[in-house]
Structure 1
Amino acid sequence: MQAPLATPTLPPARVTAVLRILVLSTFVVLLNETIMVNAIPRLMREFEVTAAAAGWLSTAFMLTMAVVIPVTGWFLQRVTTRTAYGLAMALFLAGTTLAAAAPAFPVLLVARVIQASGTAVMMPLLMTTLMTLVPPHERGRVMGNITLVISVAPALGPAVSGVLLQLGTWRLLFLAVLPIAGAMAIVGRRRLVNIGEPQAGPIDWVSVPLAAAGFGALVYGLSGLGALLVALFVWRQLALQRSSTPLLDLRALMFRHFSVALALMCLSFMALMGAFILLPLYLQEVCGLTSLQTGLLLIPGGLTMGLLGPQVGKLYDRLGAPRLVVPGAAVTALCLGLFALMGERTSPWLVLAVHVALSAGMAFVFTPVFTSGLSVLPPHLYPHGSAILGSLQQVAAAAGTALVISVMSGRAATAAADGAAPTDALATGVQWGFGIGAVLGGLAVLVALLVRTPPVPEPPAAPEVQGEEGTPLDKTAPTPG
């Protein structure tokens, strides 16, 4: 077993600066996961592709994330913080530049894969750095700000794309992001510090293709093959844990608090991503709203989740996880049930109100889930715990999307065969899709009842932390407050 990484002590201002850079950078890259949703009809016309082919611009992003993230647990322990950040932002910028200039659909698809490769590194890097730098009694407050990245960025993707598409070409989706990401990359490389020391160690080349094929097959929808390959990957990691260093250390799953948080996160993301896919379709094809109106209507929900994040984090530090996640999961399930009752005559203002309430419920779930789950792990498992969370988050998002779309399409086809008008048939399908989301939300409530306040681990001694030029930083500074 690897020796635990000690928790470094930095001046409060430096901790804030490091986390702010990582939070803003991760927000920018995660925003692109769902930014293509509203652009699909326009891309179908411009590139003359089917809806299924255009949908690959989102599916390929999630697929790449699921394939790359399992490797990050090993990768982040073997390179410096600044190297990992630089690689992630370089890949994202290269993919974004290529996407903005893409002359054909296959080129745009490749660009999305490159974008996702950089995004896959950023999320585990952010979580690992946070858990290393922030003391346990303050993690709820800080994780509340991270909720802005984890939940709000994907939630705002369709809204931002709706506004940009109203202003001009779909290429604005990438041209608007490019200068922001470029500025963040420059500032980040200058101001980030290296946390801890890289640990030399070989990579298990058998585990890499098993992880890629297994998690990729699950996201793609090949559940049987994916389950088999993931089982082989798990068996391989368990064998490596006894003799050498695994690619993804599954000993994190032995901590009950982490496993319960993982299950709750998966169910919540399945329900949430299904709702994100259905809402633009419902608002535009059933209610008749434009892409701009749809984007504007979805913005308040994303902002609600972001604004509540820091407040929920402070409540977590005072009250613990159980008192927050149970009501949060209950509100989420209730809102998804209300969406299942809506039809083509439902007022958009009611949709807005329910979406805001749904976003508030999710805010009370995600911050405590991520904080309590990772807090129980020893420091040397932070990168692996973050990678497990990130990988299963993508699998859950893809599974939730595929499930609700499948149910929606099937019920809509049945209604159309029974003689319903196209809009009525689609409305019926959407209601069934939201109904599936409500069922997933109900299961999340049951899992939330199992959440307990985790014990606070003893902090290890502080090691030396390197600055930009490799110079030691002050280790006598006060604890961040």
Structure 2
Amino acid sequence: MMNNEKKGRTGVLTVMIVAAIAGALMQTSLGTALPTLMKGFDIDLATAQQASTWFLLVNGMMVPLSAYLATRVKTRTLHLVAYFLLLAGILTSMWTPESADFWWLFLAGRILAAMAVGIMLPLSQIVVLNMYGKNERGAAMGMLGLVIGMSPAIGPTLTGWILDKNHSILGWTLSDSWRSMFVIPLIIIVIAIVLTPFLMKNVVPNKKIALDVSSVLLSTVGFGLFLWGFTNVASYGWSDLGSVIAPIVIGALVLAAFVWRQLKLPVPFLDVRVFAKKNFTIPTVGLLLTMMAMFGVEMMLPTYLQNVRGMTPLNSGLTLMWGALFMGFLSPVAGALYNKVGIKKLAFVGFSMLTLGTMPYLFLTAETPTILISVLYAIRMAGIALTMMPLTTAAMAALPDDKNADGTAANNTLRQVSASIVVAILTSVVQNIVNNNRPSHSLKLTDPLKYADKVLDASLDGFRVAFLISMVIALLGIILTFWIQGQKEADEC
């Protein structure tokens, strides 16, 4: 399919959107289910959070490979492989025996799903960039952003609805077990698999490029060790040499070697030279801040609502529903606004909304009205909608078409790395504050009410610090917008 060719574009975009819904739901819908998983597998928060951090870790490791695969493998074939891989991951996690001894199998399913999503979402962006001209990409990326943004946002509500009581979907009865949350992504990815042979086209031009095995190993080991170190923080603390400090430092050194090798190769595995272009790098950094601010609250808020407020999974999901709706509504609008007002103003407004929507979370109590939490979350998600895909579009607009695959891979790799790091850091912050401020067990025996109050205070302190970190990240986004160039300035560069 030639660039800008309109025939068949709608079908291709439809398949990718359907599959992206399943992938995006698998990425972050576990937020509401963490307390249920903790109870079902008899594990603590730090262990349960591995279901998210390992997903993000493997996702980040796979994304650099997506650029090579998109160029080397036919578009339709690569989509089918990714979809079947996601199906295998869903089924593996879904049928894991409910025991702490089998938690590794649940994580194995998450890893398979992460490998699939690490291919799917970057590939979708590469396909859009190849199908649409620069004047049309804003709207097309906005539609893709509707899924990438709204599906993770609506995941807590959907998961809460599923876990609350029995439901029936297409004749399939869902119980209140955590297994039920995989049914909807399972059905969606099967639909995508059925549609792919009929609607998917071979869009991305293929070239026979030799795979640089050394680059793959350096990338995999580097990102793997680096992110693994961060995932261990919640369990071992920042001072642990073997499980935290050493993996992070060694991973960073291996990644430095990876970058050095890419600069020396005539045909790099991942062309890191795209970061030499300021109009690509600055919006990409803004996108990282958006992802970190989004995940920072999205992964913490459902746990606060259930563990501190005592809400059911459904009610905690409903509390966050307005944010999902705002994000879904504004994502296509943001794509249109990008072409009209430019990225600089759009990003400033978005990060400002994100900051203002996060600030009141610093003062959350066990009695904070849920309507206030809903309104603030909606403001935050509206801000994310105004920044996420517009920043992605602005970054990619700075690159020539032949660098779309490299730019998308670099962009998505850093997104997943930043999300994984922030989830690990905030989980460790909450866990450590709770552990350090937990009252003695003797108080539980002598004064149970006072013990419960102190446990609640410790949890609230942990969540408040996590929200403070998220607000600081949003503030950094506001500062960054002063370095973002408007479209006119960018075109002159």
TM-score (norm 1): 0.89
Residue segments in structure 1 that go unaligned for 5+ positions in a row: 1-5, 459-481
| Contact 2:322 2:375 survives alignment (8 Å) | no
2:415 to 385, 393, 396: 393
Q: Does 1:119 align with 2:117?
A: yes
SS at match of 2:120: helix
TM-superposed CA distance for 1:42, in Å, is 3.0
The 1:44/1:426 distance shift into structure 2, 3 A limit, reads closer
Partners of 1:272 and 1:33 in 2: CA distance: 13
**Which of 204, 213, 237 does residue 205 from structure 1 map onto?**
213
Q: 2:180 & 2:130 partners in 1: Cα distance? A: 37
Check whether the contact 2:352–2:478 (CA below 8 A) recurs between aligned residues: yes
Q: Find the residue that maps to 1:137 and give its secondary structure.
A: coil
Q: 1:275-303 CA distances to partner (integer Å, 9 max, x unpaired)? A: 01210122112222211100111121012
Residue number among 235, 244, 257 corresponding to 2:279 in the alignment: 257
Deviations 1:164-213 (A, max 9, x none): 11132111112232122101111022111111431001111111121112
Aligned in 2, Cα 1:54/1:287: closer, same or farther, shift over 3 Å? closer
Contact between 1:376 and 1:454, CA under 8 Å: does it hold in 2? no
Question: 1:427-461 deviations in whole A, cap 9, x for unaligned?
Answer: 12211111111111111111122111346999xxx
Q: In the TM superposition, what is the alpha-carbon distance from 1:51 to its structure 2 partner?
A: 3.6
Deviation at 1:417, TM superposition (A): 5.8
Instruction: Name the CA distance, whole Å, in 2 between partners of 1:224 and 1:157.
Output: 34
Between 1 and 2, higher relative CO (CA 8 Å, sep ≥ 6) is seen in 1
1:134 corresponds in structure 2 to: 132
C-alpha deviation, 1:413, in angstroms: 4.2
Q: How do residues 181-220 of structure 1 correspond to structure 2 at under 5 angstroms? A: 181-220=189-228
Deviates more, 1:325-334 or 1:21-30: 21-30
- Counterpart pick for 1:402 among 412, 424, 429: 424
Q: Answer whether contact 2:31 2:303 (CA < 8 A) is retained.
A: no
Give the Cα separation in 1 of the matches to 2:349 and 2:288: 17
Quote the Cα distance in structure 2 between the aligned partners of 1:456 and 1:131.
22
Contact map agreement 2:76 2:202 (CA 8 A) in 1:
yes
1:415 deviation in Å? 4.4
Tell me the equivalent position of 1:445: 478
Tell me if the contact between 2:164 and 2:314 (Cα under 8 Å) persists in the aligned partners: yes
Find the aligned partners of 1:66 and 1:48 in 2 and give their Cα distance.
28
User: 1:46 — aligned with what?
Assistant: 40
2:259 and 2:487 mapped to 1: Cα distance? 26
Are the counterparts in 2 of residues 139 and 317 from structure 1 also a CA contact under 8 Å? no
| 1-structure distance, mates of 2:34, 2:381 | 24
Alignment of 1:318-357 (within 5 A): 318-357=340-379
Aligned pairs (5 A) from 1:218-233:
218-220=226-228, 221=230, 222-233=247-258
Counterpart in 2 of 1:169?
Answer: 177
Name which of 273, 288, 292 aligns with 1:270.
Answer: 292
CA distance in 1, matches of 2:302, 2:280: 33
C-alpha displacement at 1:363, in angstroms?
0.9
Task: Please state how far the C-alpha of 1:107 moved relative to its aligned partner.
Answer: 2.2
For structure 2, which runs of at least 5 residues remain unmatched after alignment? Answer: 166-175, 231-246, 441-450
* 2:321 paired with 1:299: yes
Tell me the residue number matched to 1:25.
Answer: 19
Tell me which amino acid in the other structure corresponds to 1:235: W
Question: Is the aligned partner of 1:74 residue 2:82?
Answer: no
TM-score, length of structure 2 as denominator length: 0.87
- 1:120-172, CA deviations, whole angstroms, 9 ceiling, x for partnerless residues? 11111111011111111122122211222232222222222111111321111
SS at match of 1:247: coil
**Structure 2 counterpart of 1:368, which letter?**
P
Per the alignment, residue 282 of structure 1 pairs with: 304
- Is the 2:130–2:204 contact (alpha carbons within 8 Å) kept by the matching residues of 1? no
Picking from 301, 311, 331, the partner of 1:309 is: 331
Match of 1:424 among 454, 457, 461: 457
Instruction: Please say if residues 375 and 456 of structure 1, whose CA atoms lie closer than 8 Å, have aligned partners that are also in contact.
Output: no
CA distance in 2 between counterparts of 1:48 and 1:415 reads 22
Pairs within 5 Å for 1:228-243: 228-240=253-265, 243=266
Q: Distance in 2 between matches of 1:269 and 1:438?
A: 12
CA contact (8 A) 1:339 1:431 kept: yes
CA contact (8 A) 2:4 2:133 kept: no
Aligned to 2:235: none
Q: Quick check: 228-237 or 169-178, which moved more?
A: 169-178
Letter in 2 for 1:30: A
Alpha-carbon distance between aligned partners in 2 of 1:423 and 1:50, rounded to the nearest angstrom: 16
Match of 2:467 in 1: 434
1:230 is aligned with what amino acid? L
Q: Distance in 2 between matches of 1:203 and 1:225?
A: 24
Describe the shift of the 1:455–1:227 C-alpha distance in structure 2 as closer, same or farther (beyond 3 A): farther
Q: Secondary structure at the match of 1:340?
A: helix
Describe the SS at the equivalent of 2:33: helix
User: 1:196 and 1:56 mapped to 2: Cα distance?
Assistant: 35
Change (3 A) 1:432 1:51: closer
Structure 2 residue matching 1:33: 3-state secondary structure = helix
Give yes or no for the alignment of 1:86 onto 2:80.
yes
Look up the match of 2:403. 381
1:411-432 per-position Cα deviation (integer Å, ceiling 9, x unaligned) = 4445446996111221122111
Q: Secondary structure at the match of 1:35?
A: helix
- Rounded to whole Å, the distance in 2 between the matches of 1:288 and 1:51 is 16
Kept after mapping to 2: 8 A contact 1:31/1:154: yes
Match of 1:389, SS state, is helix
Output the amino acid matched with 1:375: A
Query: Which residue of the partner structure matches residue 362 of structure 1?
Result: 384
Alignment RMSD (CA, Å): 2.1
* Between 323-332 and 15-24, the greater mean CA deviation after superposition: 15-24
Are residue 61 (structure 1) and residue 55 (structure 2) matched?
A: yes
Residue range with higher mean Cα deviation, 222-231 or 256-265:
222-231
Amino acid at match of 1:233: F
| Cα separation, 2, equivalents of 1:426 and 1:175 | 32
